[in-house]
Amino acid sequence: MHRLSDPVLDWVAALRDGDRKSLARAITEVENETPTGNALIRAIHDHLGRAHIVGFTGAPGAGKSTLINAFVGELNRRGKRVGVVAVDPSSPISGGAILGDRVRMGDVGGSDDVFIRSLASRGHLGGLSRTASRVVDLLDAAGMDYVILETVGTGQSEIEVAGLALTKVVLFPPGAGDDVQAQKAGVLEIADILAISKADLALADRAEQQLRQMLALRKARGWTPIIVRTVATPAQGIDTLFDAIAKHYEWLTQRGVPLRQMRLKTVLAQVAGDVLRRRIELLESPELERLCADLDSGEIDYGEAAERALAIAAAGGHVDATGTCGQSLRAE
């Protein structure tokens, strides 16, 4: 184990002390996976576990940003310190991104007790970014009472946020009545709170009905998701949302679930998967080519091929240290 240098410890002390510039620059190091960033992550391990991590997810257009804006406003009113992590997709062609979520949080973005950071997905497929979990940790260590996670809103983002957030809020806009049925069953599995956003629309009743029906069909679990109806502007149902989230947190802490450990394992699996995927994609080896040929001709099946590919990659491959910017997806 390397000893942590004093400058790193000083840096951690500064960001824990409320120095927002230090926090922002620490996030940059971590986002770029620099050695300094890695050192910072190791240095904060004793300071984690305070923040209630709440993930908001739902299809694009469901109104996530506006709802988060209203919710953070409520937290602000109650004197809570809030960190917000908003992830937007990087273009698979250029690698660039428009980080436009904080635009919709204009009302609360100006408060001293609110810290918003936008992250580009940088080629990560899953609704967040590869380093999102570590960024959340930094905000936790900096003393936030709540860390809000806003996902890209793709089909898989709900699953990914499940590994990271303690409380998962899934948004359903009404009016997509039939789409509620079409939602993947997995979404319902992970939701702790089901929020019917834009609940002032006429179809809200129907959407709620459908959600209750779907819940009733599910096997009973420890926690029964709470359904809330919210309107972002003018804000309605936000305190109900707050209460539901608080209730879930209470239930979690009472049960003594080793949340952090579960989270670490999930995130480790994701990061490892990412690294491995890039390694195999970028690897040029005759063994790998032969493997692909065998796969093509039907000599072996995918399961076996995957096991062999893992072995080949572990043996000979190495990943370019700069390949963190979606390069595997960029056209040459």
CA dihedral (29, 34, 39, 43) positive or negative: positive
Indicate whether 103 belongs to the interface with other proteins (CB under 8 A).
yes
Report 28-47 residues binding other proteins (CB under 8 A): 28-29, 31-32, 34, 36
- Scanning 90-98, 161-169, 269-277, 286-294 for contacts with other proteins by CB under 8 A, the matching segment is 90-98
Residues 6+ apart with CB under 8 A from 287: 312, 316
Q: Which is nearer to other proteins, 116 or 211 (CB)?
A: 116
Minimum separation from the CB atom of position 146 to other proteins (A) = 16
Token pair listed for 282: 């970028």
Cα diameter, the chain: 64
What is residue 4's three-state secondary structure?
coil
Indicate whether 60 belongs to the interface with other proteins (CB under 8 A).
no
Binding track, positions 104-123, relative to other proteins; x by CB under 8 A:
x-x--xx----xxxx-x---
Q: Which helix (H) or strand (E) is 255 found in, with range?
A: helix 238-255
Name the residue among 217, 209, 210 with its Cα closest to residue 189.
217
Indicate whether 2 belongs to the interface with other proteins (CB under 8 A).
no
CA 214, chain centre distance (Å): 25
Minimum separation from the CB atom of position 19 to other proteins (A) = 5
Minimum separation from the CB atom of position 28 to other proteins (A) = 5
Q: Pairing state of beta strands 193-196 and 226-229?
A: parallel
Binding residues (CB under 8 A) for other proteins: these are 7, 10-11, 14, 17, 19-22, 24-25, 27-29, 31-32, 34, 36, 90-91, 94-100, 102-104, 106, 109-110, 115-118, 120, 233-234, 322, 324-325
